[in-house]
A and B are shown apart, each in its own frame.
Chain A
Amino acid sequence: MKRATSFGTRRIATERLLVAMLFLAPAAIVVGVLVGYPMVVTLWLSLHDANGSFVGAANYARMFSIDETRHAITNNIIWVVVAPTLVTALGLLLAVLTERIRWSTALRTILFMPMAISFLAVGVSFRLVYDENPQRGALNAALVAVHDAFKPPSKYYGAAPRDGTGLVASDGGYETAAPVPVGEPVAMPLVGLPRNRVPSDAQWAGPLAAGTELRGVVWLDFTRGGDGAAGSIDAGEVGLPGVRVEAVRDGQVVATAVTDGQGRFSFPDLTEGDYTVRLAATNFTEPFRGLTWLGPELVTPAVIGVYIWVWAGFAMLLISAGLAGLPRDVIEAARVDGASDWQVLRRVTVPLMRPILIVVLVTLSINVLKIFDLLYVLPPDSSQDEANVLAVEMYRVSFGGGLDYGLGSALAVLLFLLILPAMLFTIRYRRRREFAPERPVGGRAAPRGGGALSRWRSVVRRRRAEEEGES
């Protein structure tokens, strides 16, 4: 009887197993074909070279010896350290700040909006924002506007003396190659000034007669149409007004003058001796042209900036949801005890929010490790190498020209290994929460909340003691 029962249970168990397998089979097949098989093939390919012959682990050694790949690995490390941290920190800040204001829902919606745009479109748009030319790039236009408000460029930037007319460069300005005697007028021909920057009050420089003092003329030695002779004041060649001219003797500036509407200057006090005549550097201060955002030096920070722009709203939303679920009494207790906003944030909110912050951080880390589209679109070809990350490099070596599926697969495996810890963490974390339903909302928040509260109380106690000590 007993045996029969056990036999019956075993049969039932087998049947149940069969039924379970039957139900699981479709899903297992789908997972096997779409996930399992590609993984195995990738591993297999990674052990072969571009021509398909078996090379063992050579691809794995090679990826650390090729400059481009090594660069990509370094960049991935920078990305994964910097981007998720900044996004989470900014998200937390925004969540806490928007909680207090009246139109918080509207503001949060706006902050979340970048998430609705595809990375491809974001990349194309930010190419324009980051454009180096201030006339096109919004960011540089803003920088230049601010810079010019404090330090405007000189009137005559870009102008330079005509070659072979006896003027040489000196500290950003120009001076006569040798000291000149007083009396004979000093000719100082400049070229390279665009027509739209020639002052409207400039008059024909005209021939300048000799005088008793040191004198001369600064003029634009270019006739429209290019007919003028170099170094001579031709008809229609205008003087440049407002140029600061210095008379130098033995390395010391002894007098300064400013040119008039005809570009003429004179030093009435200098009537004898030889002087070097210098056009001061302040006449030629170049305008600020902004930064080369997508150049080799700034490209990675610039792209990370775009990433933050897109994802900060997402982090804010998740954290806001977490904030809403916080036990209010703890925060209120802290407030009643006289804690400042910053203290509440640091000592109460952040410790209570830890589980959610970790989830956000880990999710973003996985996302950042496999980032591709933004880096494929945003950096121009000339700084692609500096901006490179693993996912892009994987695509480039596999399909971009070399058709080296072996190295590409090896990079894919490396990427997988890098993402693995974060994935395992998420899975374990989820499991822990799923199988502990008796715990209150926020997972381990409650016991930790107690810890935070007691820690908070000790802070308050210490402060009271200090105040009493002072009084």
Chain B
Amino acid sequence: MALILGGCASPEPWQPDPVLGDLSGSTVEVLGTWSGAEQANFRAVTDEFTRRTHATVRYTSGGNDLAILINSRLAGGSPPDIAFIPQPGVVSQLIARGVIRPLPPAAEAAVRRHYSDAWVSLGTEQDRLYGLYVKVAHKSLIWYRTDAFEEAGVTPPSTWDQFLAISRTLTDAGITPMATAGADGWVLTDWFENAYLRLAGPERYDALARHELPWTDATVVATLQLLADYWRAPNFLAGGPSAAAQLSFTQAVADVFGARPTAAMIAEGDFVGAEIRKLDRQQVGEGARFFAWPSIGGSPPAVVVAGDEGVMFRDTPAATALMTFLASPEAAAILVSRGGSLSVNKSLDLAFYPEETTRALARELVEADLLRYDLSDLTPQSFGAGSNAHMWVLLQNLLARGVPAHEIAVALENAASQDFTEQAKTRGLTEAAVRDS
């Protein structure tokens, strides 16, 4: 009652948040990859934090070079308080180097209360909780232009065989079925991950992510073959595979949903929706729809996700308070109500999502039985996450240069042996250093 009355009286003196406390005068520095609308959405959340605690939040976007920025800040001895890193593999490397602090008890409790076990375990390393996911991406989608499907008389497929059949029918109708953005290696790794999770199952997927299963395994070769057969099928990709290797992600979206569409489908995550809105030719949910990645060999529905893992380099009280706040459903509600963001906060009421498309995706994420993190992001940076990472380059070679699947598998295994060994070496050295000190 007092609260309601307080709300009505206009110039009420400021009261600090009862949980987070009064943090006037302190500053939290956050690094992330978000810019533009994503940055504005995140700022809306931190503005609320500032309103509640009077702490200042400084956000800097490192874009695609975030890891480089963090490394140079670490080398200079002035790491940020918090960073949101899109690759858990990079986080693992940083934890191994001993530069990331475990979440302090208050933040840890908040994460454990509001996140499902799967997401808690994604932030856990050697039984200690390090990370929290504020915003995630659903990567198991295939977007399509409805008028193309109507013209060819096809409906969204649910199995791989149906997917092949509708692709063939589309080419018969003179429509190029797929735009594959091969110039961006991560698009190709997403193809691989979705196919592999379905073809080989979650246990093998996890083992492969940790390199406990060699990349020469029969399931990997079969997956690579499956992708190669699709990509190299005549007329399946606009201009053929070599043109696909020149196509960037944004241009691929424009090729499907832009002014002069040349293809009917694009396989990428929920963020394609934001690109479609930017192009402003088709309405998401009307002219532009999506279906779930088709099942392979009767595999159950599965979702590949990705996100930015928030970790702490310095556990100051203000940074701890910010992490605690970010883990709360209130923060998630501010983020998702602005549109275009998906949260995996299980305490969040889905009603906060502004429209049905995103809400449906969010429901799928919260309810999915089979959820796996983007495999390439789990591997060391030089293997799976960067413009010249081995997995990116080798999948580009599979797409555009006609290299046989088994040769790609051997090359992937060689690269993985090297990259994973180097990571293990770093880890061993750090552990030795910790023991010595």
Contacts and interface: CB of A to CB of B under 8 A. Distances in A.
Given A193-B174, A224-B151, A400-B382, 11 more contacts: A50-B422, A131-B246, A160-B234, A192-B173, A226-B169, A294-B246, A381-B183, A381-B396, A382-B396, A383-B245, A385-B388
B380 to A, nearest CB: 8
B265 to A, nearest CB: 16
A244 B71 CA distance: 66
Interface in A365-387: 380-385
Interface string A224-241: 111100000000000000
B152 interface: yes
A188 to B, nearest CB: 15
B387 A384 contact: yes
Interface in A320-374: none
27 contacts: A51-B425, A131-B246, A133-B239, A133-B243, A135-B260, A158-B235, A159-B174, A192-B174, A195-B173, A195-B174, A289-B243, A292-B243, A292-B246, A295-B245, A380-B183, A380-B245, A381-B184, A382-B246, A382-B396, A384-B388, A400-B382, A400-B386, A401-B380, A401-B386, A401-B388, A401-B389, A403-B71
A162 interface: yes
Interface in B388-436: 388-389, 392-393, 396, 400-401, 422, 425-426, 429
Contacts of A194: 173-175
B151 A195 contact: yes
B172 A192 contact: yes
Given A225-B153, A292-B246, A51 B173 contact: no
Interface residues of A, number: 41
Contacts of A289: 239, 243
B185 A292 contact: no
Contacts of A195: 151, 173-174
B320 interface: no
Nearest to B71: A403
B242 interface: yes
Interface string A185-221: 0000001111101000000000000000000000000
Interface residues of B, number: 47
A72 to B, nearest CB: 11
Contact of B246 (A295, A384, A399): A295
A172 B159 CA distance: 34
A444 interface: no
Nearest to B185: A381
A145 B234 CA distance: 26
B393 A385 contact: yes
Contacts of B152: 225-226
A384 B184 CA distance: 11
List the 6 closest A-B pairs by CB distance, nearest first.
Answer: A226-B153, A194-B174, A380-B183, A401-B382, A225-B153, A191-B172
A464 interface: no
Interface in A283-305: 289, 292, 294-296
Nearest to B90: A401
B162 interface: no
